[in-house]
């Protein structure tokens, strides 16, 4: 199988994974099950999705950074889409359509440092109390969605908010089977560990053993810098941080009725300190509660470092 080659060079990249909370709290849109992919099917909401990522393209250009445009497909897998009324054919189409929207923005930019990433999420709610999935089962499961996406113009896969090492390994193997480069982004609790108590270093070591270190690199997302800054330890395989604006735990955020947007300036300083202490970092971004103010602060402070 021909594997798609991806060379990130020596550039730093911005990503924006906080689109869901922005859509809900700032745009007043409903996301059933926190799924944003249904918004692709209506012209007015489709335009909102495009606008979020166009803002990222514009900001990254001003800051002299590249950017990665994540497709709004984090929940576009069978277990999470079937309850929303999506059968296999409709789900495949919406995955392809999500790439087409991001690719149009990339083409419009005329830039080689704007990448399109197929965004993959875990099979179930990452915070649900369910047994760990076997590596081979996860490999088979994620192969369906990645198999649809491999025939599109994506540059890579980014798997966000995985907190079970076995499922992360299966997802990486599925991407490798389809010839796509993949970044694996793990989510941690307020103590900097995965939900089962595994440290980041141990989780990465386990996943790399099971996958022959196939992932391009690892990131941490959906947590505040104060939750994980002490756990990074300049690990050479952790090359990205996509941070929450809020210092709240996942349980507290799930119950929040108002947006906790934190302090954009402070978040920028905290990410810049992480960049200074972890020289292999190359991808920076905002997750829950963030918007372009946070990303501009992050980019500005990183440039200063």
Report if residue 38 sits inside a domain: yes
Which pLDDT score, from 0 to 100, does residue 152 have? 95
Full residue range of the structural domain in which residue 51 is found: 13-296
Mean pLDDT of 80-107: 95
pLDDT by residue (tens digit) across 271-294? 999 999 999 999 999 999 999 999
Domain count, the chain: 1
pLDDT by residue (tens digit) across 144-167? 999 999 989 999 999 999 999 999
Specify the CATH number for the domain of residue 253.
3.20.20.330
Q: How far is CA 171 from the centre of its chain?
A: 14
Rounded Cα–Cα distance for residues 235 and 35 (Å):
32
Report if residue 56 sits inside a domain: yes
Which pLDDT score, from 0 to 100, does residue 24 have? 85
Report if residue 113 sits inside a domain: yes
Mean pLDDT of 96-102: 97
Which pLDDT score, from 0 to 100, does residue 65 have? 97
Please indicate, yes or no, whether the overall pTM of this predicted structure exceeds 0.75: yes
pLDDT by residue (tens digit) across 120-130? 999 987 777 77
Mapping DSSP onto H, E and C, the string for 130-197 reads CCCCCHHHHHHHHHHHHHHHCCCCCCEEEEEEECCHHHHHHHHHHHHHCCCCEEEEECCCCCCCCCCC
Size of the chain, expressed as the number of residues it contains: 305
Q: Is 258 left (phi over 0), alpha (psi -120 to 50) or beta?
A: beta
Query: Scanning the structure block, which residue is given the tokens 């330890």?
Result: 233
The pLDDT-based confidence of 254 (bands split at 50, 70, 90) is low
Report if residue 273 sits inside a domain: yes
Report if residue 305 sits inside a domain: no
Report if residue 3 sits inside a domain: no
Report if residue 170 sits inside a domain: yes
Which pLDDT score, from 0 to 100, does residue 2 have? 52
Which pLDDT score, from 0 to 100, does residue 76 have? 93
The helix (run of H) or strand (run of E) holding residue 102 is helix 88-109
Sign of dihedral through CA atoms 206, 210, 212, 217?
negative
Output DSSP code: residue 2: P
Mean pLDDT of 175-197: 95
Rounded Cα–Cα distance for residues 32 and 85 (Å):
11
Quote the mean pLDDT of the chain: 91
The answer, yes or no, to whether residue 1 has pLDDT greater than 50, is no
The answer, yes or no, to whether residue 237 has pLDDT greater than 90, is yes
Rounded Cα–Cα distance for residues 51 and 24 (Å):
15
Report if residue 2 sits inside a domain: no
Asked whether the beta carbons of 36 and 49 are under 8 A apart, the reply is yes
The pLDDT-based confidence of 251 (bands split at 50, 70, 90) is low
pLDDT by residue (tens digit) across 209-221? 999 999 999 999 9
The answer, yes or no, to whether residue 252 has pLDDT greater than 70, is no
The answer, yes or no, to whether residue 250 has pLDDT greater than 80, is no
Which pLDDT score, from 0 to 100, does residue 156 have? 97
Other CB atoms within a 10 A radius of the CB of residue 151 amount to 11
């Amino acid at each position: 199988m021909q594997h798609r080659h991806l060379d990130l060079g020596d550039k730093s990249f911005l990503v924006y994974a906080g689109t869901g909370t922005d859509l809900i709290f700032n745009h007043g849109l409903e996301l059933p099950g926190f799924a944003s992919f249904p918004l692709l099917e209506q012209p007015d909401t489709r335009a909102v999705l495009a606008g979020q990522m166009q803002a990222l393209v514009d900001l990254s250009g001003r800051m002299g950074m590249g950017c990665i445009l994540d497709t709004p497909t984090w929940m576009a897998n069978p277990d999470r889409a079937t309850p929303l009324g999506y059968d296999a054919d409709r789900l495949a189409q919406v995955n392809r359509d999500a790439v087409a929207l991001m690719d149009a923005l990339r083409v419009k930019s005329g830039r080689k440092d704007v990448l399109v990433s197929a965004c993959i999420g875990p099979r179930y709610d990452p915070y649900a109390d369910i047994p760990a999935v076997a590596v081979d089962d996860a490999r088979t499961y994620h192969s369906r969605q990645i198999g649809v996406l491999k025939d599109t113009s994506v540059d890579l896969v980014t798997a966000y908010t995985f907190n079970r090492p076995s499922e992360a390994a299966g997802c990486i193997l599925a991407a490798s089977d389809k010839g796509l480069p993949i970044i694996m982004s793990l989510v941690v609790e307020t103590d900097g560990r995965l939900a089962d108590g595994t440290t980041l270093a141990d989780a990465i070591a386990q996943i790399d053993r099971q996958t022959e270190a196939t992932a391009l690199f690892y990131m941490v997302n959906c947590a505040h810098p104060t939750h994980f800054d002490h756990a990074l330890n300049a690990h050479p395989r952790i090359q990205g941080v996509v941070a929450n604006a809020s210092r709240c735990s996942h349980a507290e955020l799930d119950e929040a009725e108002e947006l906790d947007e934190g302090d954009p300036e402070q978040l920028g300083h905290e990410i810049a300190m992480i960049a200074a202490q972890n020289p292999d970092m190359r991808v920076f971004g905002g997750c829950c509660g963030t918007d372009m103010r946070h990303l501009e602060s992050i980019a500005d402070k990183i440039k200063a470092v």
